Amino acid sequence: MRKTVLRTAAVAVGLLLVAAGSALAIRLHVDHIVIETEGGFTPTTLPKHGYAPIKLHGYGKISTDDGSVPPVLEQLTLWFDKHGEVQTRGLPVCRRSQLESTDTKHARQACGDALVGKGIGKAIIYFPESKPIPASSPILLFNGPPKHGNPTVLAHAYLSVPAPTTYIVQVEIQRVHDGRYGFKTVAKIPKIADGSGVPIYGELTIGRRWTYKGKRYSYANAGCPDGRLQAKGQFRFRDGTFLQGTVLKKCKGTG
């Protein structure tokens, strides 16, 4: 049965925001589905005018409150505050052809100079009449070729079970004009084990600094003109379930 559920920070009883240091925790709980995420950025003291380098970090966990199998996440859409900037000047570019049929080690060897983030992903694979199979892989994020004039990342993962498989997802960092938001990304989650795999956990750290023509650059940058940065996430599942949450993170502006 297809169902559509929308919950935002203003109305969702199941949305819990907990600010703790530089992290922000969110809990979305609708029907039997539970999504927990925590993330933030460092440093939290940023210029009021212009940008400074930051490092982004966070994780997301999908579960159920009744022990049943979670629905399969198919798409994750994120909006980011307009007081940010992605810089790729002088950063090497990784192409999909360099990552095809590679495990994590060989992906690093092929595109290590284009690495902008890393993390880990976990899934459970359910086959009829067999025990669930846990699966996990490092996730590598590489600076990809521009798309529609926007920067992209190539997300790489490699699972050895139930059969060796390389997963590559291109994510465009779109420039948008949507109120508080200035950037949008849409990640279509690939089918794991021909659709039998259920993503349950992901963790990422994004941040890269390099020197080009004698000048230092940073991949992720932000400013703090009004004491906060804001983000929004949408989760779409195979069964039609749709959840949404908006988060705020305090920052301190200087200068």
193 pLDDT exceeds 80?
yes
Among 15-29, 53-67, 161-175, which is the least confidently predicted range? 15-29
Res 136: pLDDT: 97
Q: How many Å apart are CA 142 and CA 95, to the nearest integer?
A: 9
169 pLDDT exceeds 80?
yes
Per-residue pLDDT band at 16 (split at 50, 70, 90): very low
Instruction: Give the CA angle between residues 250, 118, 77 to the nearest 5°.
Output: 60
Q: How many Å apart are CA 30 and CA 100, to the nearest integer?
A: 38
In a domain, 128, yes or no: yes
Res 110: pLDDT: 98
Per-residue pLDDT, averaged over 105-118, amounts to 98
In a domain, 8, yes or no: no
20 pLDDT exceeds 80?
no
Per-residue pLDDT, averaged over 34-38, amounts to 89
Q: For 195, left (φ over 0), alpha (ψ -120 to 50), or beta?
A: left
What is the domain-level CATH number for residue 93? 2.60.40.1510
Residues of the domain holding 217: 16-254
In a domain, 143, yes or no: yes
In a domain, 66, yes or no: yes
Res 218: pLDDT: 98
In a domain, 11, yes or no: no
Mean pLDDT of all residues belonging to the chain:
89
200 pLDDT exceeds 80?
yes
Per-residue pLDDT band at 30 (split at 50, 70, 90): confident
Per-residue pLDDT, averaged over 126-137, amounts to 93
Give the β-pairing of 23-30 and 84-86.
Answer: unpaired
In a domain, 34, yes or no: yes
In a domain, 4, yes or no: no
Per-residue pLDDT, averaged over 14-20, amounts to 31
Domain count, the chain: 1
Q: How many Å apart are CA 111 and CA 168, to the nearest integer?
A: 13
Q: How many Å apart are CA 60 and CA 33, to the nearest integer?
A: 13
